Amino acid sequence: MNALAATNRNFRQAARILGLDSKLERSLLIPFREIKVECTIPKDDGTLVSYVGFRVQHDNARGPMKGGIRYHPEVDLDEVNALAQLMTWKTAVADIPYGGAKGGIGCVPKELSLSELERLTRVFTQKIHDLIGINTDVPAPDMGTNAQTMAWILDEYSKFHGHSPAVVTGKPVDLGGSLGRESATGRGVVYAAEALLNEQGKQIKDLTFAIQGFGNVGSWVAKLIHEIGGKVVAVSDITGAVKNQNGLDIPALLSHKEETGKLNDFGGGDVMSTDELLTHDCDVLIPCALGGVLNRENADHVKAKFIVEAANHPTDPDADEILSKKGVLILPDIYANAGGVTVSYFEWVQNIQGFMWEEEKVNRELKKYMTKAFGNLKSMCQTHSCNLRMGAFTLGVNRVARATQLRGWEA
């Protein structure tokens, strides 16, 4: 099932549980605006090449729309739509005053030079600058983009609208980015995992972890779990996978990845197949890569007792059912990976105030938001006798529906 169909299915189930009016349900599902633009740039060799860019603005009932921009060959309107909708529910679950949006360009960033990426980003910004803004829609980095991409968007946008640091988040600190933003998604995942495990009478330091994906999020998750005393027994990314049942030396693995660009050949563990990681023997599985990795083919072989969804939509609905029957507790993406957008909110607030926070304050506030959101999620689970995923969806959908009704959506 593709991401949009799965997201719509979860939304409709939450709407039924909440008893939403059918007209309101339909209104909440339809995106506020879909933007599709053609971006033609000269390559370094002088030839012209065209890419298609998207921005889907899903909902603004609770505040400006918010969401990443990804550069990836598989970016299409369906995927961007699903991720924009997920952002609407995610910001509501975290209780930050945003709606949801998402953007992307269908390209292979590794095949483009730095100057080509800059030209592509600037052309994309020129095409959408009048549809984004500090109080309208605030982009952020996502797969294939980073702080430098945000710096280019900020600069190009400011040519049209004057200096506007709050128009994007995830910027370099020198341009008004927040301290703690780089580690925020990974740190939020760890705070979310702590909240779930504490509720189950368990602690990170007593458990084993397998992490799929070793990019920004996965590497921070591994680093923080290792620092707390948890045992990371397996890690994978597109370059390969390594395992060590006694626990991997994460600082050494991070150094090895930085030096060689890959996980293979790491002396402190054994090579394994990347597919094997999802079914590796561990207490907690943390998928931090692409969506749809847990499906009906492999769900039955998952040995973890807990799954913390650091990626967007890593578990498709078929796998959800299989895992639930096995008694696996799944902490859903719209809560578990909300740390990034929460610290993006802190960055936006700092930019608007023109007053920057210490990193310690950023991390402390993040923990407060993640812990409070878990309590709210659990109370929805109890109220509606549902699992964690539906607890998160009912929490998010209910908040957006309430805001929509209060604004007088039928007027």
What phi, psi does 52 have (nearest 5°)? -105, 130
Q: Is 102 a catalytic residue?
A: yes
Q: Known binder of ligand: residue 115?
A: no
Side-chain-side CA neighbours of 115 within 13 Å: the count stands at 5
Residues 178 and 331 sit within 8 Å (Cβ to Cβ)? no
Q: What is the Cα–Cα distance from 338 to 16, expressed in whole angstroms? A: 24
In 264-353, which residue ranges form alpha helices assigned H by DSSP? 317-325, 333-336, 339-353
Residues 58 and 334 sit within 8 Å (Cβ to Cβ)? no
Compute CA 237 distance to the chain's CA centroid, rounded to the nearest angstrom.
Answer: 17
Q: Known binder of ligand: residue 379?
A: no
Active-site residue (options: 102, 171, 223, 243): 102
Q: What is the Cα–Cα distance from 19 to 394, expressed in whole angstroms? A: 10
- CA of 309: how far to CAs of 100, 185, 316, 362, 381, in Å? 19, 11, 12, 22, 18
Residues 303 and 327 sit within 8 Å (Cβ to Cβ)? no
Residue 362, burial from CB neighbour count under 10 angstroms (0-12, 13-18, 19+): buried
DSSP bridge pairs for 208? 231
Q: Known binder of ligand: residue 394?
A: no
For 54, which DSSP code? E
Q: Known binder of ligand: residue 398?
A: no
Instruction: Write the CB contacts of 154 (distance below 8 Å, at least 6 apart in sequence).
Output: 164, 165, 167, 168, 171, 175
DSSP bridge pairs for 308? 331
> What's the distance, Cα to Cα, between the start and end of the chain in Å?
36
Q: Known binder of ligand: residue 255?
A: no
Residue 181, burial from CB neighbour count under 10 angstroms (0-12, 13-18, 19+): buried
SS3 91: helix
Return the active site residues.
Answer: 102
Binding positions for substrate are: 66, 90, 344
Binding positions for NAD(+) are: 185, 216
Binding positions are: 66, 90, 185, 216, 344
